[in-house]
Amino acid sequence: MFIFKRVAHIQDWIQKRKAEGWNIGFVPTMGALHKGHLSLVEACKQNCDGTIVSIFVNPKQFNDKKDLVNYPRPIERDLKMLFESGVEVVFLPEVEDIYPPDSSTTIDFDPGVAATTMEGKFRPGHFSGMAEVVYRLLNITTPDCLYMGQKDFQQFSIIRKLISDFKLPINLELCPTIREESGLAMSSRNVRLSEQAREKAAMIYANLVEAKKSFQAGKSVEEIRAQFFAALIQEQFNPEYMEVVDGYTLAAVEQMNQAEQIVVCCAVFVEEVRLIDNMVLKGE
């Protein structure tokens, strides 16, 4: 397994492999890897000749500096996991490699309504920072395929739009959310939960399942939201939002026939740890 820190080095490797006819797949991550990340690696390995995984905690997408400082960085463990899963290349850039101090070009990507709803509403600047880093990483790695998780559906939806807007020749694959046995979506943040809270946090998933049933049964979004909030507050959780949206535009929807893809998304604080999850209601 190659570990590249410098852009020129990884680009040299990519250029050589592409010249040999390799099909390159890319899995961007912020590290603190778990089985969710590894499922993306697995999907990538199945479809591509070479798998590149990047680990980069992107400062531009953290609106909360405390969250950035507290973000787990178990790099030795991550590298071991990637080695054991058989990836060809790990890209481990420094901030200066991605954002050269002498660069004056910024990307003015406006994700539209996506930037002002859900994660965009509660984490101002998050998606422009995320879109910029993904765009920069795609420029560096020029992959044929890009693998992203449904766990961060809004992020996926914004990158799907970015790829389509810029006509990038990249095949974007959405991989299903990997969950703990309890149903809790795997996340790098879960390690910050007490054992008891981690168990109880499975309620988020259970209530998304309830929301799905209610929506399919024709209940109003307002009613579903009230039910969702009440159930979580009863457990001393602090739900931030629960929205039913068009998977493409991320605009709110009220009925099943209003969009081709419909997703229910939520963010919930559990012991001050912010957890997000979602469920596709229509159009997997």
Residue range at the interface with ligand AMP (CB under 6 A); choices 136-144, 148-156, 162-170, 256-264: 148-156
273-282, strands of its sheet edge to edge: 238-246, 262-270, 273-282
The Cα 80–Cα 77 span in angstroms is 5
Report, in Å, the least distance between residue 194 CB and ligand AMP. Answer: 20
Q: Where are the beta strands (DSSP E) in the chain?
A: 2-4, 24-29, 50-55, 89-91, 145-149, 171-175, 238-246, 262-270, 273-282
The Cα 216–Cα 218 span in angstroms is 5
Q: Please report whether residue 157 would count as binding ligand AMP according to CB under 6 A.
A: no
Q: Please report whether residue 190 would count as binding ligand AMP according to CB under 6 A.
A: no
Q: Please report whether residue 204 would count as binding ligand AMP according to CB under 6 A.
A: no
Task: Give the one residue of 54, 128, 141, 188 binding ligand AMP; rule: CB under 6 A.
Answer: 188
Do 187 and 151 meet the contact criterion of CB atoms below 8 Å apart? yes
Q: Please report whether residue 52 would count as binding ligand AMP according to CB under 6 A.
A: no
Residue range at the interface with ligand AMP (CB under 6 A); choices 90-98, 110-118, 178-186, 272-280: 178-186
Q: Please report whether residue 186 would count as binding ligand AMP according to CB under 6 A.
A: yes
Do 244 and 215 meet the contact criterion of CB atoms below 8 Å apart? yes
Report, in Å, the least distance between residue 36 CB and ligand AMP. Answer: 2
Report, in Å, the least distance between residue 161 CB and ligand AMP. Answer: 15
CB atoms within 10 A of CB 146: 24
The Cα 76–Cα 61 span in angstroms is 24
Structure tokens of 30? 């912020």
- Our CB check for ligand AMP shows the closer of 112 and 183 to be 183
The yes-or-no answer on residue 9 being catalytic is: no
Q: Please report whether residue 60 would count as binding ligand AMP according to CB under 6 A.
A: no
Phi and psi (nearest 5°) for 282? -160, 140
- Our CB check for ligand AMP shows the closer of 174 and 221 to be 174
Q: Which parts of 11-40 interact with ligand AMP (CB under 6 A)?
A: 29-30, 36-37, 39-40
Residues that bind ligand AMP (CB under 6 A): 29-30, 36-37, 39-40, 148-149, 151-152, 175, 177-178, 185-188
| Catalytic annotation, residues | 37
